[in-house]
Amino acid sequence: MDNRPIGIFDSGIGGTSIWSEIQELLPNEDCIYLADSKNAPYGEQSNERIIALSIKNVEHLLAQDCKMVVVACNTATTNAIEYLRDHYSIPFIGIEPAIKPAALRSQSKIVGVLATKGTLSSSLFHSTSKNHAAGITILEQQGTGLVELIEAGQLQSPELFGLLESYITPMLEQGMDHLVLGCTHYPYLIPVLRKILPKNVTIIDSGRAVAKQTKNVLEKFNLLADLNKKGKHQFYTNINKKVLAGILTPFNMESNVNFLDF
């Protein structure tokens, strides 16, 4: 047993979509979440800057005695996780677009991927596509502006709907039957996406798979928490707490949100 917390970070509030899956699957685990909203979106940053920001976040989590770190950001995973694994001794869990299950299930053999520039341009994304999508047409769409609107709490705004529609329509016209969400912010777009997508298009994100991998790694290294305790959760943001608290309202976690200048 190891009752130290799991550390989770993202370039803002999006990684809470990963946290929610982890706390559901592993209710005994404590979690500490860092929302680096001040530097969002990571997808527009250089590789060197993404690595530097990831190091900063990991150092804060290690200072709070975290036993593992979940890099709940596709861009940080594709650009920095190799460096983090080489330079720190704790386990790291990364995120990458769920291309494999989409490719296996697609009937039209056309899969859309909505992601940030930093993810779509990474070598890890292209190797994943090459290894798991033979015979599949991958339609890549950069979701410019979406993270900023989500971070601003504009989930129901006409601007958000218009942007999404402009990104999704060309992929639909090419026959897409699966849409892979390649950014941890994007699951919060699903209610809007349901209004745009026909019923035959399946939306896929990585949250549940990441939670299962987290559990597997904790078991492998004997890091699971005491099964008789209930997990505690703390959330930190380096800008206004309002949006992060709002996104956590369904989980009754608003009071656990703190400001931290990191």
Pairing status of strand 68-71 against strand 202-204: unpaired
183 is catalytic: yes
Of 18, 72, 73, 114, the active-site residue reads: 73
User: Residue 66 catalytic?
Assistant: no
Residue 143: closest CA among 16, 243, 70, 43: 43
DSSP 8-state class, residue 201: P
Q: Which of 99, 115, 181, 183 is catalytic?
A: 183
Burial letters for 138-171: b for 16+ Cβ neighbours within 10 Å, e otherwise? bbbbbbeebbebbbeeebeeeebbebbeebbeeb
Question: Which residue in 89, 57, 90 sits closest to 73, CA to CA?
Answer: 57
Closest of 67, 54, 66, 72 to residue 18, by C-alpha: 72
Q: Which of 47-82 are b and which e, b meaning 16 or more Cβ less than 10 Å from the residue's Cβ?
A: eeebbebbeebbebbeeeebbbbbbbbbbbbbbbbe
Residue 57, SS3 per DSSP: helix
Distance CA 231, CA 61 (A): 17
Annotated active-site positions, please?
A: 73, 183
